[in-house]
């Protein structure tokens, strides 16, 4: 099931919906279709998790499987006619470093070998939940960088929270999957990482997320169950201006999402809505392939990330000054 967070074109309200082909059906249609257990919670992730657990979302999906009934027509919108928002507004965002091929390649580019600590425990950093961009939303290039890069990642959203979650139970805490682009300013990253702390300003200006939150049942047939948790066989691709730059597969993660969740929850609490990123798939960024044929990103470039079953996440780079002028408002605390 593909869940969309979208703007209702009539009311301008942010809504939860189910994507059926080329339309999105507002979750509130559940009551029109006789699904009384459907419940709206104060938060988006609360609504998603509550209705996954009580079966209302799956009941709605089944009611829509053969087409949109007449009773749900007023809650239905053409997908191309709505603005998609990030599928969740995460409470926290941990981005891991789970693909060995990427780690080896990125370190080799810096003249470094692998370190044993990487394979001893999953490594992650916290990024900025206030800089999450949705599908199709322009991404500003910071004026301080001339080495802007994309990162092709898969992410999970926590549905059921917990502390000290065992790896063998961790997959049950996943509400869904989405595509993640961890935008990176490589020249800034090189400078600040020399201090031994970070990344910081090289990363926290933008992360793109979307287009949907895809529930685990939609990828169940691609799951291989292991003693370390599930591995999902999902091909991942990145295109710049329509040209294929990167290709990989989520099954190549050294650490499974179950292991990442177990590690992230150790001695602390994971909350519903927390975002867990895989880190970059091997060859999944310009840093690994940079040459004359694969230059750093410039304003006007379009980056399109695709993952099997999860859809496509497209973003166009813009000058920071143009992006700032287009917003027409100023952030306040």
* 3-state SS, residue 309: coil
User: Taking the domains of the chain in order of start, what are their residue ranges?
Assistant: 2-84, 93-327
pLDDT value of residue 328:
59
Q: Nearest 5 degrees, angle CA 131-CA 210-CA 186? A: 50
pLDDT digits 0-9 by tens, 231-290: 999 999 999 999 999 999 999 999 999 999 999 999 999 999 999 999 999 999 999 999
Q: What is the pLDDT of residues 153-195, one digit of tens each?
A: 999 999 999 999 999 999 999 999 999 999 999 999 999 999 9
Superfamily of domain 93-327: Fumarylacetoacetase-like, C-terminal domain (3.90.850.10)
* pLDDT class of 327 with cuts at 50, 70, 90: confident
Q: For the chain, give the mean pLDDT.
A: 96
Given a contact cutoff of 8 angstroms between Cβ atoms, the answer to whether 27 and 60 are in contact is yes
The H or E element spanning position 64 is: helix 56-64
Cα(259)–Cα(170) distance, rounded to whole angstroms? 8
Q: What is the pLDDT of residue 331?
A: 56
CA 65 – CA 20 distance, rounded (Å): 8
Q: Does the pLDDT at position 325 exceed 90?
A: no
Summarised one tens digit per residue, pLDDT across range 28-71 is 999 999 999 999 999 999 999 999 999 999 999 999 988 899 99
Query: Are 147 and 172 within 8 A, CB to CB?
Result: no
Q: Does the pLDDT at position 206 exceed 90? A: yes
Tell which phi-psi region holds residue 241, choosing left (phi > 0), alpha (psi between -120 and 50) or beta: left
Whether the bond between 211 and the residue before it is cis, its omega within 30 degrees of 0, is yes
Return d(Cα 277, Cα 260) in angstroms, integer: 9
In this predicted structure, what is the pLDDT of residue 200?
A: 96
What are the residues facing 157 on neighbouring strands? 176, 275
């Amino acid at each position: 099931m593909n869940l969309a967070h979208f703007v209702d074109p009539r009311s301008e309200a942010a809504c939860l919906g189910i994507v059926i082909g080329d339309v999105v059906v507002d979750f509130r249609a559940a009551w029109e279709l006789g699904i009384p257990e459907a419940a709206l919670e104060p938060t988006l992730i609360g609504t998603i998790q509550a209705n996954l657990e009580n079966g209302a979302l799956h009941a709605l999906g089944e009611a829509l499987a053969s087409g949109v009934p007449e009773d749900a027509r007023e809650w239905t919108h053409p997908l191309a006619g709505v603005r998609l928002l990030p599928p969740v507004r995460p409470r926290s965002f941990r981005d891991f470093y789970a693909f060995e091929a990427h780690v080896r390649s990125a370190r080799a580019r810096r003249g470094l070998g692998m370190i044993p600590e990487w394979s001893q425990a999953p490594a992650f950093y916290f990024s900025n939940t206030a800089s999450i961009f949705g599908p199709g939303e322009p991404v500003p290039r910071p004026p301080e960088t001339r080495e802007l890069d994309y990162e092709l990642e898969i992410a999970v959203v926590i549905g059921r929270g917990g502390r000290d979650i065992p790896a063998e139970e961790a997959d049950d805490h996943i509400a869904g999957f989405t595509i993640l682009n961890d935008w990176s300013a490589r020249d800034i990253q090189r400078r600040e990482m020399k201090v031994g702390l970070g990344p910081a300003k090289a990363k926290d200006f933008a992360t793109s997320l979307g287009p949907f939150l895809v529930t685990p049942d939609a990828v169940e047939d691609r799951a291989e169950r292991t003693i370390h948790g599930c591995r999902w066989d999902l091909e991942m691709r990145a295109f710049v201006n329509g040209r294929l730059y990167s290709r990989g597969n989520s099954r190549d993660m050294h650490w499974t999402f179950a292991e990442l969740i177990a590690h992230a929850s150790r001695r602390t609490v994971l909350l519903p809505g927390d975002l867990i990123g895989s880190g970059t798939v091997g060859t999944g960024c310009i840093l690994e392939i940079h040459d004359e044929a694969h230059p750093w990103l410039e304003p006007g470039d379009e980056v399109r990330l695709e993952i099997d079953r999860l859809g496509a996440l497209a973003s166009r780079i813009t000058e920071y000054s143009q992006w700032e002028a287009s917003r027409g408002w100023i952030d306040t605390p």
